Amino acid sequence: MRSMYKFGLSVLLALGSAAALAGYAFNFPEPVTPIARETLHMHNLVMVVILVLFFLVFGLLIYSFRVHRKDTGYKAATFSGPVGRKQWLWVLSPFALLFFIDYVVFGIPAYHAVVMYEDTKTDAELVVKVTGSQWLWQYEFPAEGISYTSRMITPRDQIDSGAAKGEHYLLEVDNPLVLPVGKKVRFITTSNDVIHSWWVPAFGVKRDAVPGFLREFWATVEKTGTYRGQCSELCGKEHGFMPVVVNVVSQEEFAKWLASKKAPVTATAATAATGPATQVVVAKAQ
């Protein structure tokens, strides 16, 4: 028995020190949108409650195993006949407790979070259409008449281990998505071919891009910076090579970027007129 305790203790210590060393590596990335923060809050709430329940239940279990042993002279209870009031209490109280935790402690905040997640339209100040295709992303600002593709730029050498891997290995693109800080952005996702999924962990959003359907989500990024993500729906042989990079910049910088993107008006208008499918083909051919 003693060696079992020692083993358990060493496992716990090993896990504890690994977690301490890794810092937040195993946790959520720092949330930068209301959705990401809400998701982290829900996660933490659930973790705390289930940890308390875990120790309560296992504590009680281990206590019962140890105390109610025959070799310590414990006499087993013998009962027959109708179920008594005490027994009903022991059956119903865990049920009531779990019901309360699920539907009230978790249910109410989860309901509010889901309602918030789905509210893509209220106060949205910018619309971005994200189209996935094998194997790149296309970003469109319909109101501004801007459309461009975003492809991974990690050299093949690094992938084939011919060269040392760069800092943002597999998470770097030629044309990142640029967004203004503090503005509610409504995203619309779709796809040209198979199902992809647009995912930026720090935003707390992941939405499937489904051919023939428009799906929505929103993000208000509260901090400027570069955020990276990936396609997270297996979409073919280069699924791992279609990262997402978002540059979140100040209002002024965003306006400047918009102006620079709009500048070659004729070229943008010409590609826009031929439709997104053709445009992707053109982009791939380059």
Q: Give the number of residues in contact with Cu ion, rule: CB under 5 A.
A: 4
CB of 188 to Cu ion, least distance (A): 17
C-alpha pair distances (Å), 41 with each of 106, 217, 254:
11, 19, 30
- Shortest Cβ distance from residue 156 to Cu ion (Å)? 19
Q: Which is nearer to Cu ion, 198 or 203 (CB)?
A: 198
The least distance separating Cu ion from the CB of residue 239, rounded to whole angstroms, comes to 5
For 67, residues 6+ apart whose C-beta sits below 8 A from its C-beta are: 74
Separation of alpha carbons 35 and 200, rounded Å: 12
Could you tell me which of 142, 89, 135, 165 has the C-alpha nearest to residue 233? 135
Residue 179 amino acid letter = L
Q: How far is the CB of 139 from Cu ion (least distance, A)?
A: 15
- Select the span of 107-115, 120-128, 225-233, 254-262 touching Cu ion (CB under 5 A): 225-233
130 or 231: CB nearest Cu ion: 231
Query: Residue 220 or residue 230: which is nearer to Cu ion going by CB?
Result: 230
Minimum CB distance to Cu ion, residue 17 (Å): 38
Cβ pair 203, 218 in contact under 8 A: no
In the chain, how long is the greatest CA-to-CA distance? 92
Smaller CB distance to Cu ion: residue 36 or 235? 235
DSSP state of 79: -
Site string for Cu ion, 226-245 (x = CB under 5 A): -----x---x------x---
Determine the 3-state secondary structure of 139 from DSSP: strand
Q: Are 151 and 174 within 8 A, CB to CB?
A: yes
Closest CB to Cu ion among residues 41, 284? 284
Nearer to Cu ion, 184 or 196 (CB): 196
| Three-class secondary structure of residue 38 per DSSP | helix
Nearer to Cu ion, 33 or 138 (CB): 138
Distance CA 110, CA 116 (A): 10
User: What is the pattern of x (binds Cu ion, CB under 5 A) and - over residues 21-60?
Assistant: ----------------------------------------
Q: What residues between 134 and 153 interact with Cu ion by CB under 5 A? A: none
- 169-208 residues in contact with Cu ion (CB under 5 A) are 196
**Of 150, 178, 148, which is closest to residue 249 (Cα–Cα)?**
178
Least distance between Cu ion and beta carbon 134 (Å): 7
Least distance CB 148 / Cu ion (angstroms):
18
CB of 235 to Cu ion, least distance (A): 3
Task: In whole angstroms, give the CA distance from residue 114 to residue 18.
Answer: 34
Tokens (6 digits) for 87:
């027994």
- Going across the sheet that includes 205-209, the strands are 177-180, 244-249, 225-231, 196-200, 205-209
With respect to Cu ion, which residue has the nearer C-beta, 205 or 242? 242
Which residues of this protein are in contact with Cu ion, per CB under 5 A? 196, 231, 235, 242
